[in-house]
Amino acid sequence: MIWQNISAMSAPESADAPVNRPSMKKWVVLLVVLGALIGLGTMVKAWMDRRSGAAAQPVVFSGGSEHWDQNEVPISMQCGACHEKEFRQWAGSDHAWAFRKLGDQWESEAFHNMKLDAHGSILQFSTNGHGRMVHDGQSSTSWRAEWATGRIPLVQYLVPAKDGGFHTLSAAWDVNRKEWFDIFGKESRQPGDWGHWTGRGMNWNTQCAWCHMSLFHKNYDPVKDRYASTWTEPGVTCIQCHGPLLDKPEAGTGCMISTRNKLTPQQIHDNCASCHARRDEFDHDFAVGDRFDNHFQLVLPVQPGVFWPNGMQRDEDYCETGLRLSRMGKAGVTCLDCHDPHTGTLKLPQEDNTLCLRCHGTGEAVNGVKAPVIDMATHTPCPQSSMGARCVECHMPESLYMARDPRRDHSFNSPDPLLSVELGIPNACTMCHEEKSNEWAAEAVKKYYGAKPKMAQYRERTRAVQHAYEGKEDVLPLLMECFKREEVGAWRATLLDLMDAWAHEPAVQEVAAAAVKDPDPLTRAAAAKVMGRVGNPAAGKLLNDPFRVVRLQAEWALRDSLPPDSPGMKELTAAALHQADQPSGAMKLAQIAISRKDVKTAELWFSKALKWDATSSVVHRDYAVFLASQGRSREAVDQMQEAVRLAPRDANLWYLLGLGQIENNDESGALESFNEALKIEPSFIRALFNRALLNEKVGRLEQALQDLENCSSLEKGNADIPFTLAVMLYRNGRYREAAAAAAEALRRDPGHARARQILESASRHGR
């Protein structure tokens, strides 16, 4: 209207009429005055409407943007009318670009007859009358790209799926290099694999959408196997981080979000963590102000290949786990201590250590905990002008994810090259000095910091975790000792979870029972898991825990005894149904059906899991165990053989196959399977023990006795092994040796009544 009014005012009445033109200076003054009056009038009217409660059109932000408009983010546009500075900051952030429509200004190069050769197929990217097209030469199938996510350093595109959802291409556009690449690099992912971009592992609705949209709901129908997903605004907008969203504007302010609801630092952090974490979902109901552990199960370093044993990121792990494992997290440092909430960028520069030294240079307290003061002149052996003198390069080294996306580690570990030499863990020293060896770095650290640097106090914990990954039987005492002195809750949870392999040990059950009162919910959840493994009724104390992450673990552990209509079983089933569109959820629902003795439903869910993830050895393994429980031993062996084919280096699968083959009277096949298990894992006690029993059965007594001797050496505190040896010797008429083995069993367990009987009988026969 301003330009229209000015144009009308300046238009001459006729070509010949003289025009009295004001000076340029006067026009500028007039424009400023008019703009100010109109803007003031708009603001006054908006204020009066809000005060009076008048049903006027909502005031919206009047600025422009590249990738959204009022129709797409209407609520956030209203926020921008009053919070223009924050709105403009957000509009340029990665959060705002988390999901967008396609446009010529971004897609013209990417979809201009480009190609990518990946996984045995050539993908072609072009533009025609139907839109931006992706053609797969392997399947002769074409898709139209509907949406885009991300902007720098890469963009991914979404194509529609037959189930009403979307799939995310593994092919991504490199914005800087102007080329397509595959985010899985050299991994071989073929059509039919769960992890192929057309498989469920790249289903956008369940794997990506919640963190790229605002107020997203998956709305999956397990009967129809279809999605009817909804969201309020695309991208991560105002309402995803501020909330909860009101049903109507707040009286007096007109805000769609309560101005009276002040969030605590923990609530704000949990909101960030809801996306910036590797986690499993219980639902899509998380709202601003909720606790993370009521809606998500945080993934901890409890299995190899996901994290390094010191807690550093290894796979695509995001930030929350590392922060919870760190001393920084324990001290109460949250995302917003370092990151601006609207731009997502750092509040202070990291290049000159200003950000870190804000606390570590002054001793400033965070949540009452004073940061250790660091003297950079002596803190590092690296020259002060070098990259090695930057805090983040040593304590937050970058790793590439999605092939070309560098991300910093948030566990804040100190580099320890000695553990690189021992365990293969990366360290910042040789990540920077690529031409040097880990041995060189370890010696340099020892020379500068001494034989016992500060990072040495965490070495035993790291060794314990790594040895637990490797299944070393003698690591349990170290796990228990580290647990006893651990101050960080997430590490206590990790160490206790790793003790699950020894859940049958009374000492482990004592630790788990005591952890019921641990202040950390993840530790209590680990306690429920360990107790549930052996049916410890103490796990029932956690069925009423205030955190759902704990209750669900207790409910899972006690599912066989929970009544079908109990609150616990209903909560457990609801969480599994939320995950029912993925193989893991289907497997949980199958196990719940088994606990209810509903064989038909269990079979249904197992069949879905097999269909969705046919290349998973775990799915075939669990289905085989189910079949064996139903007396379908031949089918069980078939499934276990497929599991072994898919994961030939898994010793436990060979062991289970051997048990199944014994059930089918295939003794030679079982011996071969036990042999394979022991080639992979020579100290596999159960495989050794069962091979011993089978060797005796087929007449190979000496091999059987040797296996039991080896078992006895590996588990020096287990009285049942020498007792079994005594029985075997006694059965074969070797009474003096049987008496000696029985005596060893009694030495280990003086109350072992059966061993005493063998000893007495063997002593009489051996006279």
Residue bearing tokens 């609530």: 267
pLDDT category at 68 given cuts 50, 70, 90 is: low
Instruction: Give the type of residue at 340.
Output: D
**146 within a domain of the structure (yes/no):** yes
- Specify the pLDDT at position 180: 97
Q: Are residues 34 and 141 in the same domain?
A: no
112 and 41 inside one domain: no
- Look at residues 410, 396, 241, 265 and name the one whose alpha carbon lies nearest to residue 337: 265
Task: Tell which phi-psi region holds residue 188, choosing left (phi > 0), alpha (psi between -120 and 50) or beta.
Answer: beta
The arithmetic mean of pLDDT across residues 533-538, rounded, is 91
Q: Tokens 């290894």 identify what position?
A: 314
Nearest to 465 by CA among 304, 622, 575: 304
Alpha helices in 319-415 (DSSP H): 320-325, 327-331, 354-360, 376-379, 391-395
Question: Is residue 43 domain-shared with residue 145, that is, in the same domain?
Answer: no
List C-alpha distances in Å: 167 to 100, 158, 161: 15, 6, 6
Q: Is pLDDT of 140 > 70? A: yes
Q: How many helices (H) and strands (E) does the chain have?
A: 34, 18
Question: How is 702-739 classified by DSSP, letter by letter?
Answer: HHHHHHHHHHHHH-TT-SHHHHHHHHHHHHTT-HHHHH
Say yes or no: 123 and 40 in one domain. Answer: no
- Domain match, 53 and 144 both: no
Among residues 692, 726, 697, 698, the alpha carbon closest in space to that of 711 is found at 692
The secondary structure element, H or E, covering residue 99 is: none
Does residue 114 sit in the same domain as residue 194? yes
- Domain identity same for 221 and 123: yes
CA pair distance 331, 431, nearest whole angstrom: 28
- Percent pLDDT > 90 in the chain is 78
pLDDT higher than 70, residue 231: yes
In a domain, 159, yes or no: yes
User: Into how many domains does the chain fold?
Assistant: 2
Query: Among 354-368, 455-469, 598-612, 735-749, whose mean pLDDT is lowest?
Result: 354-368
Q: Which two tokens stand for residue 333?
A: 């440092």
Residue-level pLDDT at 186: 84
Choosing from 225, 257, 282, the residue where a domain stops is: 225
| Residue 26 pLDDT > 50 | no
> CB neighbours (10 Å) of residue 137?
13
> Which single residue is written with the structure tokens 């040896």?
725
The verdict on 138 and 40 lying in the same domain is no
Which DSSP category does 767 fall into? -
Please indicate, yes or no, whether the overall pTM of this predicted structure exceeds 0.75.
Answer: yes
Strands (DSSP E) along 151-270, which ranges?
Answer: 154-160, 166-174, 179-182, 213-214, 220-221, 226-227, 233-234
pLDDT at res. 37: 32
- Mean pLDDT over residues 214-221, rounded? 96
- Is the pLDDT reported for residue 39 higher than 50? no
What is the mean pLDDT of the segment spanning 706-732? 94
- Residue 255: partners with Cβ closer than 8 Å, 6 or more residues away: 79, 82, 246, 249
Based on the domain organization, do 156 and 53 belong to the same domain?
A: no
Q: Which of 48-62, 185-199, 729-743 has the highest mean pLDDT?
A: 729-743
Question: In whole angstroms, what is the distance from residue 759 CA to residue 235 CA?
Answer: 74
pLDDT digits (tens, 9 = 90+) for 436-445: 999 999 999 9
Query: What pLDDT, on the 0 to 100 scale, is given for residue 25?
Result: 38
Residue 37 within any structural domain of the chain: yes
Tokens 């019921």 found at: 516
For 76-100, the pLDDT digits (tens) are: 888 888 899 999 999 889 999 999 8
Percent residues over pLDDT 70 in the chain: 90
C-alpha distances (whole Å) from 338 to each of 97, 350, 363 are: 21, 10, 16
Assess whether 124 and 50 both reside in one domain: no
Domain membership of residue 196 as a residue range:
104-201+214-225
Q: Do 221 and 160 fall into the same domain?
A: yes
- Quickly tell me which residue has 């008496």 as its tokens: 739
In this structure, is residue 188 part of a structural domain?
yes
User: Is residue 582 over pLDDT 80?
Assistant: yes
Residue 267 lies in a domain: no
346 strand-pairing partners = 339
In a domain, 176, yes or no: yes
Q: Are residues 42 and 143 in the same domain?
A: no
For residue 8, is pLDDT > 80?
no
Judged by DSSP in three states, 135 sits in strand
DSSP 136: E
Q: Which of 164, 192, 225 is the last residue of a domain?
A: 225
Given a contact cutoff of 8 angstroms between Cβ atoms, the answer to whether 400 and 414 are in contact is: no
**Residue 245 CB neighbours (<10 A):** 17
**Between 513 and 80, whose confidence is greater?**
513
Average of per-residue pLDDT values in the chain: 89
C-alpha distances out from residue 580 to 3, 193, 583, Å: 57, 18, 7
Distance from the Cα of residue 739 to its chain's centroid:
53
Length reported for the chain = 767
- The structure tokens listed for 534 are 């052996």
Judge whether 158 lies within some domain: yes
pLDDT digits (tens, 9 = 90+) for 317-364: 999 999 999 999 999 999 999 999 999 999 999 999 999 999 999 998
Q: What angle do CA 567, 569, 570 make, to 5 degrees?
A: 65
| Domain-embedded: residue 412 | no
Q: Is pLDDT above 50 for 47?
A: no
Alpha helices in 630-684 (DSSP H): 633-646, 651-663, 667-680
What pLDDT, on the 0 to 100 scale, is given for residue 120? 76
Nearest to 412, CA basis, from 498, 319, 485, 339: 319
pLDDT tens by residue, 162-208: 999 999 999 999 999 999 999 998 888 888 899 999 999 999 999 99
At residue 262 the predicted structure's pLDDT band, cuts being 50, 70 and 90, is confident
